[in-house]
Amino acid sequence: MAFDFLVPVADKVLAHCELLPPQALGKKIYKHTKRDGLPVLALANIAIIGVNESRNAFEKKPEQLDVSAIRLEFYKLMMGNWNSSIVDLGDINAGQEVSDTYFVVKEIIAELLEENIIPIVIGPTQDITYPCYRAFDGLKKMINLVNIDSRFDFGDHEELISSHSYMSKIITDKPNNLFNFSNIGYQSYFNSQEEIDLMERLFFDAYRLGEVTSNIALIEPLLRNANIVSLDARAIRASEVGMLDNFSPNGFTGREICAIARYAGISDKVAVFGLFESENSRQSFQLMAQIIWYFIEGYNFRIQEVPYINKEDFTKYIVPTDSQELVFYKSNLTERWWVEVPSILDSYNKSEIAALLPCTKDDYVEATNQDIPERWFKAFKKGLN
């Protein structure tokens, strides 16, 4: 059983929990300990897992990421008004080969997915996204992956998998379960024109850092449709994490990245949340802990809304354009928007009905001005292929 490879939470973290006030998360989380073993998963909603594997780092890591220090900062935070049950399963240590570590990560996440438990995976390198993606193989469904990253991480297709090239492996590897890939916060000077062109050719979504920071609500529909969210901490500006060497002067602020994490948590489709590429500094540990807190905060505000099922809770808008008749739905409860994509069939219903693409009110307004939203066009084209 893959859970046998999990290492208990460090004694120093458990000792620190004894000093925390009763309202702190450290007092509320069920932990994997040497004395008591693994916590019971039956009622758990969220599971925290550390992965101590960095051999495929593009820039070699001078020291191991101190996941226990992130835990310490997270445990200090106060529990929100939450109904969710959180377990900390401890860490996965590096196997004899990197592929061994990947296998254990994949198997553990697959088991958690079967139990409807959302893993929050903390690791030193973003290539760990690959086994997270492979964990969905047994579910026989197409996957939407969203990366919050300054780079696309395609790399050279001939290069061995690394933290800068794992996306090429995800795109080309069989079985190919990837339906859509979206990047939030890319910075043009870190990406070759060939990579940018590839994103266009494959009808993937990419939003530059400036686009997102000028209107952060723009990316909420992307996250609403995501199954996996993988966050590269280097998308955050260096000053926010303690001026660490591998971080850039430009990037998201702490407030922006926490807002994005909350959107990811609110999405009722997000089943895996990964937090990678952090480095060792007190400020970085604190920010990573707060990102996790905001994801869980979002999770506790989840509302499952399906316009085809709860018809009375939605208003339907039909917008004729020169080339297409677009059908929009607006939730009367949350004021979120969706648009039908007739080239893709809906997964909620076996009948021949169009899938729904999360969108914004601005997309609806654009359509009324005879301007078809770009995300709709890409999804429509992808459904025809």
Using the structure block, give the residue that is written with the tokens 């996306």: 167
pLDDT band, residue 2 (cuts 50/70/90):
confident
Q: Is 318 exposed, middle or buried (0-12, 13-18, 19+ CB in 10 A)?
A: exposed
Q: State CA 187 to chain mean position distance.
A: 19
Convert the pLDDT of each residue in 207-259 to its tens digit. Answer: 999 999 999 999 999 999 999 999 999 999 999 999 888 899 999 999 999 99
Looking at per-residue pLDDT, the higher value among 63 and 281 belongs to 281
Q: Output the pLDDT for position 352.
A: 56
pLDDT band, residue 385 (cuts 50/70/90):
low
3 state DSSP class of 85 = coil
For the beta carbon of residue 34, count every other beta carbon within 10 angstroms. 12
Judge whether residue 57 has pLDDT over 70: yes
Judge whether residue 21 has pLDDT over 70: yes
Which of 29, 7, 30, 26 lies closest to 16, judged by CA?
26
- Cα 318 from Cα 365, distance rounded (Å): 12
Judge whether residue 348 has pLDDT over 90: no
Domains in the chain, CATH or no CATH each: 2-299 (3.40.800.10), 311-384 (no CATH)
Judge whether residue 336 has pLDDT over 80: yes
Judge whether residue 349 has pLDDT over 70: no
Q: Output the pLDDT for position 327.
A: 95
Q: Output the pLDDT for position 268.
A: 94
Convert the pLDDT of each residue in 36-56 to its tens digit. Answer: 999 999 989 999 999 999 888
Ramachandran region, residue 191 (left: φ > 0; alpha: ψ -120 to 50; beta: rest): beta
Q: Output the pLDDT for position 107.
A: 97
Q: Output the pLDDT for position 12.
A: 94
Which residue blocks in 40-137 are alpha helix, DSSP H?
67-76, 98-114, 129-134
Q: Output the pLDDT for position 61.
A: 73
Q: Quick one: average pLDDT of 13-38?
A: 96
Convert the pLDDT of each residue in 179-192 to its tens digit. Answer: 999 999 999 999 98
Tokens of 54: 């960095």
- Cα 142 from Cα 123, distance rounded (Å): 25
Which residues contact residue 375 at a Cβ distance below 8 angstroms, ignoring those fewer than 6 apart? 205, 221, 357, 359, 363
Convert the pLDDT of each residue in 145-163 to its tens digit. Answer: 999 999 998 876 555 556 6
Judge whether residue 339 has pLDDT over 60: yes
Query: What percent of the chain is predicted at pLDDT more than 70?
Result: 95
- Cα 203 from Cα 197, distance rounded (Å): 10
3 state DSSP class of 93 = strand
Residue 205: beta bridge partners? 182
Using the structure block, give the residue that is written with the tokens 């449709």: 225
Q: Output the pLDDT for position 308.
A: 82
Q: State CA 307 to chain mean position distance.
A: 24
Answer positive or negative: Cα dihedral of 208, 182, 273, 104.
negative
Q: Output the pLDDT for position 158.
A: 54
Q: Quick one: average pLDDT of 65-69?
A: 95
Judge whether residue 109 has pLDDT over 90: yes
Q: Is 324 exposed, middle or buried (0-12, 13-18, 19+ CB in 10 A)?
A: middle
For the beta carbon of residue 40, count every other beta carbon within 10 angstroms. 10
Which residue blocks in 202-326 are alpha helix, DSSP H?
209-214, 220-224, 254-266, 282-299
Tokens of 85: 């049950």
Convert the pLDDT of each residue in 269-290 to its tens digit. Answer: 999 999 999 999 999 999 999 9
Comparing 171-180, 190-199, 375-384, the range with the smallest average pLDDT is: 375-384
